[in-house]
Structure 1
């Protein structure tokens, strides 16, 4: 049981750079300083909003992800940054990127 608790605690620590934006809005907060809102999903109804800490943009793996997105959809995207990826897949990917540090 202690091992499961430490794994959960570690996964919460890894997610400190990524937050669901809906949770922040439910609590009446605006986008906090140091975060960038990102829309993740392929279709509007399946999309999820995230807050990405600016430190993640310095990460070479996250920068590579953004470069792949730019090659797929281009650089001219009006409005919020959009990543065409499944939201759960994006969460797992961000966990892995955070773990690599």
Structure 2
């Protein structure tokens, strides 16, 4: 398993264990995509090949490049991202 650090509300870093088979992502929404903004989510690896999720990853590559340091940032708000993941989960069934 991989360890992932996130900031608590008090500004301290907290270690979080990322479950095997998941990718941590930071939903940057409409902000600048900095590491201190957005919602952090864990996405199952099997969903990354879904065309809708792949399109979001392409958007991330175009906006931030392939050499993003730290957690993978995705330029998407949390509500839209959940809809995309729900659709991807439904298409797997």
Q: TM-score, normalised by structure 1?
A: 0.60
Q: Quote the Cα distance in structure 2 between the aligned partners of 1:59 and 1:50.
A: 17
Matched residue, 1:92 = 83
> What 5-or-longer segments of structure 2 have no aligned partner?
1-5, 7-14
Query: How large is the Cα RMSD of the aligned pairs?
Result: 2.4
> What 5-or-longer segments of structure 1 have no aligned partner?
1-20, 22-27
1:22-37 aligned at under 5 Å gives the runs: 30-37=17-24
Larger proportion of helix: 1
Q: Quote the Cα distance in structure 1 between the aligned partners of 2:55 and 2:81.
A: 14
Greater RCO (Cα-Cα under 8 Å, separation 6 or more): 1
1:29 deviates by 5.8
Number of residue equivalences: 75
Larger proportion of strand: 2
Q: Quote the Cα distance in structure 2 between the aligned partners of 1:71 and 1:29.
A: 28
Dislocated runs of 4+, deviation >3 Å: 42-46
Matched residue, 2:27 = 40
Q: Quote the Cα distance in structure 1 between the aligned partners of 2:72 and 2:28.
A: 11
Larger radius of gyration: 1
Q: TM-score, normalised by structure 2?
A: 0.64
